Protein backbone atom coordinates (compact mmCIF):
# COMPACT_ATOMS: atom_id res chain seq x y z
CA UNK A 1 0.00 0.00 0.00
CA UNK A 2 1.44 3.37 -1.01
CA UNK A 3 1.91 6.15 1.40
CA UNK A 4 -0.84 8.28 -0.17
CA UNK A 5 -3.30 5.35 -0.03
CA UNK A 6 -2.57 4.92 3.65
CA UNK A 7 -3.09 8.62 4.26
CA UNK A 8 -6.40 8.49 2.35
CA UNK A 9 -7.68 5.57 4.45
CA UNK A 10 -6.69 7.38 7.60
CA UNK A 11 -8.60 10.44 6.41
CA UNK A 12 -11.79 8.37 5.84
CA UNK A 13 -11.46 6.79 9.28
CA UNK A 14 -10.98 10.22 10.86
CA UNK A 15 -14.00 11.68 9.04
CA UNK A 16 -16.08 8.68 10.16
CA UNK A 17 -15.10 9.22 13.76
CA UNK A 18 -15.97 12.92 13.51
CA UNK A 19 -19.52 12.26 12.23
CA UNK A 20 -19.95 9.69 14.95
CA UNK A 21 -19.08 12.17 17.70
CA UNK A 22 -20.92 15.13 16.24
CA UNK A 23 -24.13 13.05 16.21
CA UNK A 24 -24.06 12.71 20.02
CA UNK A 25 -25.10 16.13 21.36
CA UNK A 26 -28.76 16.66 20.39
CA UNK A 27 -28.77 20.15 21.85
CA UNK A 28 -26.47 22.44 19.89
CA UNK A 29 -26.21 25.83 21.68
CA UNK A 30 -28.55 28.76 20.99
CA UNK A 31 -31.59 26.65 20.18
CA UNK A 32 -33.71 27.29 23.25
CA UNK A 33 -36.65 25.23 22.02
CA UNK A 34 -34.43 22.17 21.53
CA UNK A 35 -33.13 22.65 25.07
CA UNK A 36 -36.69 22.90 26.47
CA UNK A 37 -37.71 19.75 24.61
CA UNK A 38 -34.69 17.88 25.83
CA UNK A 39 -34.47 18.95 29.48
CA UNK A 40 -37.78 20.45 30.56
CA UNK A 41 -40.68 18.70 28.84
CA UNK A 42 -40.73 15.76 31.29
CA UNK A 43 -42.06 18.10 33.99
CA UNK A 44 -43.52 21.08 32.08
CA UNK A 45 -46.36 21.30 29.57
CA UNK A 46 -45.05 23.40 26.66
CA UNK A 47 -47.96 23.07 24.26
CA UNK A 48 -51.21 23.05 26.29
CA UNK A 49 -53.98 22.60 27.11
CA UNK A 50 -54.06 22.95 30.93
CA UNK A 51 -55.25 19.89 32.92
CA UNK A 52 -58.96 19.21 32.35
CA UNK A 53 -59.48 16.91 35.34
CA UNK A 54 -58.54 17.12 39.01
CA UNK A 55 -56.49 13.92 38.69
CA UNK A 56 -54.44 15.45 35.86
CA UNK A 57 -53.99 18.64 37.89
CA UNK A 58 -52.66 16.73 40.91
CA UNK A 59 -50.36 14.63 38.69
CA UNK A 60 -48.72 17.75 37.21
CA UNK A 61 -44.97 17.72 37.91
CA UNK A 62 -44.28 21.40 37.22
CA UNK A 63 -46.26 24.55 36.32
CA UNK A 64 -47.59 24.82 32.76
CA UNK A 65 -45.25 26.87 30.59
CA UNK A 66 -47.23 27.02 27.35
CA UNK A 67 -48.20 30.64 28.08
CA UNK A 68 -44.87 31.59 29.69
CA UNK A 69 -44.57 34.61 27.37
CA UNK A 70 -47.78 36.10 28.78
CA UNK A 71 -46.98 35.27 32.38
CA UNK A 72 -43.35 35.88 33.29
CA UNK A 73 -40.95 38.79 33.17
CA UNK A 74 -37.97 37.85 31.10
CA UNK A 75 -35.34 39.34 33.39
CA UNK A 76 -36.70 37.39 36.37
CA UNK A 77 -36.85 34.19 34.33
CA UNK A 78 -33.24 34.39 33.17
CA UNK A 79 -31.97 34.97 36.70
CA UNK A 80 -34.24 32.37 38.31
CA UNK A 81 -33.23 29.66 35.82
CA UNK A 82 -29.63 30.12 36.96
CA UNK A 83 -30.45 30.38 40.67
CA UNK A 84 -33.84 28.73 41.26
CA UNK A 85 -35.58 29.39 44.57
CA UNK A 86 -38.76 27.83 45.95
CA UNK A 87 -41.99 29.50 44.77
CA UNK A 88 -44.58 26.99 46.02
CA UNK A 89 -43.69 26.27 49.67
CA UNK A 90 -45.35 22.82 49.55
CA UNK A 91 -44.43 21.96 45.96
CA UNK A 92 -46.91 21.32 43.16
CA UNK A 93 -48.98 18.62 44.89
CA UNK A 94 -49.90 20.39 48.10
CA UNK A 95 -52.35 17.66 49.19
CA UNK A 96 -49.69 14.93 48.86
CA UNK A 97 -47.23 17.06 50.84
CA UNK A 98 -49.68 17.62 53.68
CA UNK A 99 -50.61 13.93 53.75
CA UNK A 100 -46.99 12.85 54.03
CA UNK A 101 -46.52 15.38 56.84
CA UNK A 102 -49.45 13.99 58.78
CA UNK A 103 -48.53 10.30 58.48
CA UNK A 104 -48.06 8.61 61.86
CA UNK A 105 -44.41 8.07 62.67
CA UNK A 106 -43.20 10.15 59.74
CA UNK A 107 -40.52 12.67 60.55
CA UNK A 108 -42.19 15.41 58.49
CA UNK A 109 -42.65 15.84 54.77
CA UNK A 110 -39.86 14.71 52.45
CA UNK A 111 -37.56 17.53 51.36
CA UNK A 112 -38.72 18.99 48.06
CA UNK A 113 -36.19 18.49 45.26
CA UNK A 114 -34.29 21.57 44.09
CA UNK A 115 -35.03 22.81 40.59
CA UNK A 116 -32.33 22.07 37.97
CA UNK A 117 -30.15 25.15 37.40
CA UNK A 118 -28.90 26.30 33.99
CA UNK A 119 -25.67 28.09 33.08
CA UNK A 120 -25.81 31.70 31.84
CA UNK A 121 -25.96 30.87 28.12
CA UNK A 122 -28.56 28.09 28.46
CA UNK A 123 -30.71 30.26 30.75
CA UNK A 124 -30.73 33.02 28.11
CA UNK A 125 -31.66 30.52 25.34
CA UNK A 126 -34.38 28.87 27.44
CA UNK A 127 -35.84 32.26 28.47
CA UNK A 128 -35.81 33.44 24.85
CA UNK A 129 -37.74 30.33 23.75
CA UNK A 130 -40.17 30.49 26.70
CA UNK A 131 -41.03 34.14 26.01
CA UNK A 132 -42.28 33.10 22.55
CA UNK A 133 -44.91 30.79 24.09
CA UNK A 134 -48.22 32.66 24.34
CA UNK A 135 -51.84 31.75 24.91
CA UNK A 136 -54.85 33.40 23.35
CA UNK A 137 -54.33 37.16 23.40
CA UNK A 138 -57.98 37.57 24.39
CA UNK A 139 -57.14 36.60 27.95
CA UNK A 140 -54.60 39.31 28.46
CA UNK A 141 -55.05 42.22 26.03
CA UNK A 142 -57.58 44.18 28.00
CA UNK A 143 -55.26 44.19 31.01
CA UNK A 144 -52.24 45.61 29.21
CA UNK A 145 -53.00 49.28 29.83
CA UNK A 146 -53.99 50.06 33.36
CA UNK A 147 -53.70 53.36 35.20
CA UNK A 148 -50.85 53.57 37.69
CA UNK A 149 -51.89 54.19 41.26
CA UNK A 150 -49.61 55.75 43.88
CA UNK A 151 -48.08 53.15 46.20
CA UNK A 152 -48.74 54.95 49.45
CA UNK A 153 -52.36 55.36 48.43
CA UNK A 154 -52.98 51.78 47.37
CA UNK A 155 -50.98 49.78 49.92
CA UNK A 156 -53.37 50.02 52.87
CA UNK A 157 -56.49 49.49 50.73
CA UNK A 158 -55.02 46.66 48.65
CA UNK A 159 -53.59 45.04 51.77
CA UNK A 160 -56.94 45.29 53.51
CA UNK A 161 -58.71 43.63 50.57
CA UNK A 162 -56.02 40.95 50.32
CA UNK A 163 -56.01 40.05 54.01
CA UNK A 164 -59.47 40.83 55.33
CA UNK A 165 -61.98 40.95 52.50
CA UNK A 166 -60.81 38.07 50.27
CA UNK A 167 -58.49 36.17 52.68
CA UNK A 168 -55.95 35.58 49.92
CA UNK A 169 -53.23 34.85 52.49
CA UNK A 170 -54.98 31.61 53.49
CA UNK A 171 -53.18 30.16 50.48
CA UNK A 172 -50.49 32.72 49.55
CA UNK A 173 -47.46 34.05 51.45
CA UNK A 174 -46.92 37.83 51.49
CA UNK A 175 -43.49 37.51 53.13
CA UNK A 176 -41.29 34.43 53.69
CA UNK A 177 -43.17 32.31 56.27
CA UNK A 178 -46.18 34.67 56.44
CA UNK A 179 -49.32 33.18 54.88
CA UNK A 180 -50.53 29.86 53.44
CA UNK A 181 -48.52 27.23 51.60
CA UNK A 182 -50.99 25.77 49.08
CA UNK A 183 -50.19 28.34 46.37
CA UNK A 184 -47.21 30.28 44.94
CA UNK A 185 -45.68 32.92 47.22
CA UNK A 186 -46.68 36.41 46.13
CA UNK A 187 -43.96 38.55 47.74
CA UNK A 188 -41.98 38.26 44.49
CA UNK A 189 -45.01 38.27 42.15
CA UNK A 190 -44.34 41.81 40.91
CA UNK A 191 -40.83 40.87 39.77
CA UNK A 192 -41.81 37.41 38.54
CA UNK A 193 -45.11 38.01 36.72
CA UNK A 194 -46.36 40.59 34.21
CA UNK A 195 -48.89 43.07 35.57
CA UNK A 196 -51.37 42.05 32.86
CA UNK A 197 -51.15 38.38 33.91
CA UNK A 198 -51.62 39.21 37.61
CA UNK A 199 -54.80 41.16 36.83
CA UNK A 200 -56.14 38.58 34.41
CA UNK A 201 -55.44 35.71 36.85
CA UNK A 202 -57.10 37.46 39.81
CA UNK A 203 -60.12 38.12 37.64
CA UNK A 204 -60.48 34.51 36.56
CA UNK A 205 -57.97 31.84 37.61
CA UNK A 206 -59.99 29.17 35.75
CA UNK A 207 -59.57 30.97 32.44
CA UNK A 208 -55.89 29.95 32.64
CA UNK A 209 -56.18 26.74 34.60
CA UNK A 210 -59.74 25.29 34.55
CA UNK A 211 -59.32 22.95 37.55
CA UNK A 212 -57.18 25.15 39.84
CA UNK A 213 -58.38 25.52 43.46
CA UNK A 214 -58.03 29.31 43.64
CA UNK A 215 -61.64 30.55 43.91
CA UNK A 216 -63.08 32.93 41.33
CA UNK A 217 -64.53 35.73 43.47
CA UNK A 218 -65.98 38.00 40.74
CA UNK A 219 -63.89 40.89 42.00
CA UNK A 220 -64.67 44.35 40.59
CA UNK A 221 -62.18 45.96 38.19
CA UNK A 222 -61.47 48.62 40.76
CA UNK A 223 -60.56 46.10 43.45
CA UNK A 224 -58.51 44.01 40.99
CA UNK A 225 -56.51 47.17 40.34
CA UNK A 226 -55.93 47.70 44.07
CA UNK A 227 -54.93 44.08 44.67
CA UNK A 228 -52.54 44.08 41.68
CA UNK A 229 -50.92 47.35 42.76
CA UNK A 230 -50.57 46.01 46.30
CA UNK A 231 -48.76 42.91 44.95
CA UNK A 232 -46.50 45.10 42.80
CA UNK A 233 -45.60 47.18 45.88
CA UNK A 234 -44.95 44.05 47.98
CA UNK A 235 -42.26 42.96 45.53
CA UNK A 236 -40.33 46.20 45.53
CA UNK A 237 -37.28 46.83 47.60
CA UNK A 238 -37.75 49.76 50.02
CA UNK A 239 -35.55 51.93 47.75
CA UNK A 240 -37.66 51.16 44.67
CA UNK A 241 -40.89 51.94 46.54
CA UNK A 242 -39.33 55.18 47.75
CA UNK A 243 -38.57 56.29 44.18
CA UNK A 244 -42.08 55.66 42.85
C1 LIG B 1 -38.01 17.30 37.64
C2 LIG B 1 -39.04 18.19 37.14
C3 LIG B 1 -38.60 19.50 36.49
C4 LIG B 1 -37.72 19.68 35.43
C5 LIG B 1 -36.90 18.63 34.68
C6 LIG B 1 -37.77 21.10 35.13
N7 LIG B 1 -38.64 21.75 35.98
FE8 LIG B 1 -39.10 23.72 35.96
N9 LIG B 1 -40.25 23.48 37.62
C10 LIG B 1 -40.49 22.28 38.25
C11 LIG B 1 -41.27 22.53 39.47
C12 LIG B 1 -41.76 21.49 40.47
C13 LIG B 1 -41.45 23.94 39.54
C14 LIG B 1 -42.15 24.73 40.63
C15 LIG B 1 -41.10 25.16 41.64
C16 LIG B 1 -41.68 25.90 42.83
O17 LIG B 1 -42.84 26.28 42.80
O18 LIG B 1 -40.94 26.12 43.80
C19 LIG B 1 -40.80 24.51 38.36
C20 LIG B 1 -40.79 25.86 38.05
C21 LIG B 1 -40.26 26.39 36.90
C22 LIG B 1 -40.37 27.78 36.51
C23 LIG B 1 -41.03 28.87 37.33
C24 LIG B 1 -42.46 28.91 36.96
C25 LIG B 1 -43.42 29.09 38.09
O26 LIG B 1 -44.51 29.62 37.86
O27 LIG B 1 -43.12 28.65 39.20
C28 LIG B 1 -39.74 27.92 35.30
C29 LIG B 1 -39.60 29.19 34.47
C30 LIG B 1 -39.22 26.61 34.95
N31 LIG B 1 -39.56 25.72 35.93
C32 LIG B 1 -38.51 26.33 33.80
C33 LIG B 1 -37.87 25.11 33.55
C34 LIG B 1 -36.97 24.89 32.45
C35 LIG B 1 -36.57 25.94 31.41
C36 LIG B 1 -36.54 23.59 32.55
C37 LIG B 1 -35.58 22.86 31.65
C38 LIG B 1 -34.25 23.42 31.56
C39 LIG B 1 -37.19 23.00 33.70
N40 LIG B 1 -37.98 23.97 34.28
C41 LIG B 1 -37.03 21.69 34.12
C42 LIG B 1 -40.10 21.04 37.82
C43 LIG B 1 -39.17 20.80 36.82
C1 LIG C 1 -57.82 28.43 48.10
C2 LIG C 1 -56.50 28.94 47.87
C3 LIG C 1 -56.32 30.28 47.20
C4 LIG C 1 -56.86 31.50 47.54
C5 LIG C 1 -57.84 31.81 48.67
C6 LIG C 1 -56.32 32.46 46.62
N7 LIG C 1 -55.46 31.85 45.74
FE8 LIG C 1 -54.33 32.77 44.32
N9 LIG C 1 -53.66 30.98 43.68
C10 LIG C 1 -53.98 29.76 44.24
C11 LIG C 1 -53.37 28.71 43.44
C12 LIG C 1 -53.49 27.22 43.73
C13 LIG C 1 -52.67 29.35 42.37
C14 LIG C 1 -51.87 28.78 41.21
C15 LIG C 1 -51.11 27.58 41.48
C16 LIG C 1 -49.93 27.29 40.60
O17 LIG C 1 -49.62 28.01 39.64
O18 LIG C 1 -49.31 26.29 40.92
C19 LIG C 1 -52.88 30.78 42.57
C20 LIG C 1 -52.29 31.74 41.75
C21 LIG C 1 -52.38 33.09 41.98
C22 LIG C 1 -51.67 34.09 41.23
C23 LIG C 1 -50.68 33.80 40.12
C24 LIG C 1 -49.39 33.46 40.83
C25 LIG C 1 -48.42 32.64 40.08
O26 LIG C 1 -47.26 32.59 40.51
O27 LIG C 1 -48.78 32.04 39.08
C28 LIG C 1 -52.03 35.32 41.74
C29 LIG C 1 -51.53 36.68 41.28
C30 LIG C 1 -52.98 35.08 42.80
N31 LIG C 1 -53.16 33.71 42.93
C32 LIG C 1 -53.57 36.06 43.55
C33 LIG C 1 -54.56 35.81 44.51
C34 LIG C 1 -55.35 36.84 45.15
C35 LIG C 1 -55.18 38.33 44.91
C36 LIG C 1 -56.22 36.21 45.99
C37 LIG C 1 -57.32 36.83 46.80
C38 LIG C 1 -58.27 37.62 46.05
C39 LIG C 1 -55.96 34.77 45.88
N40 LIG C 1 -54.97 34.58 44.97
C41 LIG C 1 -56.62 33.81 46.61
C42 LIG C 1 -54.72 29.54 45.38
C43 LIG C 1 -55.43 30.52 46.05
Contacts 24+ apart (CB under 8 A), 28-31: 29/121, 29/122, 29/125, 30/121, 30/125, 31/125
Does residue 86 register a pLDDT over 90? yes
CB of 77 sitting under 6 A from ligand 1: yes
Count of other CB atoms within 10 angstroms of residue 84: 13
Q: Which domain holds residue 242?
A: 138-244
CATH code (residue 162): 1.10.760.10
Please report whether residue 17 resides in a domain. Answer: no
CB of 40 sitting under 6 A from ligand 1: yes
Let me know whether 225 and 179 are in one domain: yes
> What would the pLDDT profile of 27-70 be if each residue is shown by its tens digit?
556 899 999 999 999 999 999 899 999 999 999 999 999 999 99
Does residue 169 register a pLDDT over 60? yes
Residue among 93, 102, 194, 207 nearest 146 (CA)? 194
Does residue 124 register a pLDDT over 80? yes
Q: How confident is the model at residue 243 (pLDDT cuts 50, 70, 90)?
A: very low
Let me know whether 98 and 50 are in one domain: yes
Of 135, 159, 188, which residue is a domain's last?
A: 135
Q: For residue 174, what is the enclosing H or E element?
A: strand 173-175
CA of 183 to the centre of ligand 2 (A): 6
Of 107, 135, 163, which residue is a domain's last?
A: 135
Please report whether residue 176 resides in a domain. Answer: yes
Please report whether residue 6 resides in a domain. Answer: no
CATH code (residue 48): 1.10.760
Q: How confident is the model at residue 111 (pLDDT cuts 50, 70, 90)?
A: confident
Task: Decide: 172 and 197 in contact? Cβ < 8 Å.
Answer: no
Residue among 196, 197, 202, 189 nearest 234 (CA)? 189
95 versus 164: the higher-pLDDT residue is 164
Q: What is the pLDDT of residue 112?
A: 84
Q: What is the pLDDT of residue 57?
A: 94
By three-state DSSP, how is residue 83 classified?
coil
Please count the helices (runs of H) and the strands (runs of E) in the chain.
13, 2
Does residue 15 register a pLDDT over 80? no
Residue among 196, 197, 187, 202 nearest 233 (CA)? 187
Q: Which of 169, 171, 204 to probe ligand 2 with, by most ligand atoms within 8 A of CB? A: 171
157 versus 12: the higher-pLDDT residue is 157
> pTM for the whole thing?
0.85
234 versus 11: the higher-pLDDT residue is 234
Distance (Å) of CA 56 to CA 52, 85, 87, 215, 221: 7, 25, 21, 19, 32
Q: What is the pLDDT of residue 99?
A: 64
The atom of ligand 2 lying closest to the CA of 185 is 26
Amino acid sequence: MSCSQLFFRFLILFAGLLTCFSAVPAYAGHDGMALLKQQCVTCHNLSGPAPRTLAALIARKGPDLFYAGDKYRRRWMETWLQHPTRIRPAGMAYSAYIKSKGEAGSAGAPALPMHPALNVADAADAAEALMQLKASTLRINRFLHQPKVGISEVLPRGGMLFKHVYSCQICHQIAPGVGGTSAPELYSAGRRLTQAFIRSYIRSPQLWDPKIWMPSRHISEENIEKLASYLAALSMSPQEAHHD
